[in-house]
Structure 1
Amino acid sequence: MTALMNMPELGVGTFRLEDQACNDSVTTALDIGFRHIDTAQIYGNEAAVGKAIQDSDVSRNSLFVTTKVWNNKLNVREFIPSVKESLAKLQMNSVDLLLIHWPSPANGEPMEEYLGELAKAKKQGLTRKIGVSNFTIHHLEKAIAILGEGEIATNQVEVHPYLINEKLRSYCNDKGIHVTAYMPFAVGKVLQDDTIQAIAQAHNVSAAEVVIAWELAHGMATIPSSTKREHLETNYKGSELVLSDEEVSRIDALNKGDRQATPDFAPDWD
């Protein structure tokens, strides 16, 4: 599968990072070499992300920035204004990728309405690419019918060794939709796994590097987050590790459907 144009496969996430902690994390990530930053309206940290980018020596043109529209803005009246508000906080004229955060409109708006607004945001130059997050196969089928083939750049979903999400990933691959994996460490759970630690020891690297190498070996982008420089540095080094097919298969076998993101508005997962 072709990678999403110009999007570095390894990015840095900002979920649960607020204010100065977020600013420091993004600042450090940029200093280390990350060029793909992921945020969202609901994270409440777009301004902190924007300030970190503005204060850095890294040019905007060399960055790939993603944000996401929240559930209560998925309507004709509020969608575009909310995107413009996000851009103001980010201190940008446009983002590289704009996503629907969940297929769960707060007021039950039809997909035709909010995907129409998403397409409008692209047409107005507020974003270079559009995509979705947490969409199931059922949702993707409907979204493709509405937007057309090739318009959905990515589906950002939870993928890690304890939730390999193979059925959904296979569908995305068939449709040319890039998969961006969030929560790659399953909130730290997989870093303690005996198999992953054994592979890490064999390569003389950290468990985090093994997990990131596994994500990348499957052709996904991934967006781990951290507030600590040493962890951000380790995450960044994960892109240098090459696992054998046998090691990838051993990690695949750890799958047990252990999903971390389970809000009450989540869809019926595949």
Structure 2
Amino acid sequence: MRTFLIIILAVFINDPKEIAKINSLKKEAEAAYLAKDYELALSKYTILSDSLGVDDPAIKLNLAHAHYHLNDTAGAKNRYNQLATAENNKLKSVALQQLGVMSKDAGKLDESLQLLKSAIKADPTNQDARYNYEVVKKLLEEQKEQEQQQENQDQENKDGEDEQEQENQDQKKDGEEENQENQDGEQEKSDEQKEQEQKEQEQKEGEEEEQEQEKSKEQMTKEKLEEMGISEEKARQLLEAMRQSEIKYLQHQKRKATKRPPSGKPDW
């Protein structure tokens, strides 16, 4: 059965009409591709590769390119991957190069660099692969530099935040100490005020006690006078008379002390 299919396929491929059809489709596909009509080129190349089974590296590569130009990332990647293991090193190099470019566009720079490196290894004369390799290498260096700068900036921000936090803590501590000092000062002032108030209260109580004692003495004197049958007015008159008598007595004593002794006698 397998031998029969191979014979049929060989007859089909060697059919002049089919050969003419294939050649016509190749020209139409190539013309459409050069005219940047990638949808038409994709259609023609798909018929040649998938329907007619034409094994032509140029057709397979242009088919992958057509997918790429139409932004069919999945289709292009699938076609390029089929060519990445081709025995034709130049074809393999271009396929790897395109896969590298697609990885670069997707932001996968490490993966892109490895694919482009493999493309150069497959075909050292592939200048496009070398150019893209240098571009991606530079992008990676810039990316690492930016990451380092960002890391440094993050560290500076963290240090700044830590410093600000420490400053806030110091300010809070100073504020608490100041509040404590104020409280101590207020307490000391309050103690002094209490002490002063206590002294004033004691003084007031002493004065009130003296006044009470004075009133008590006056009351006792009044009661004694009443017992003796002497009025307050009469008592004041007696006291005044006694005072005047005492004054006269003192004046008389003073005059006697200043009189000169008789002559011829000692003054002792």
TM-score by length of 2: 0.24
* Structure number with higher helix proportion: 2
Higher relative CO (CA 8 A, sep ≥ 6), structure 1 or 2? 1
Larger-gyration structure (1/2): 2
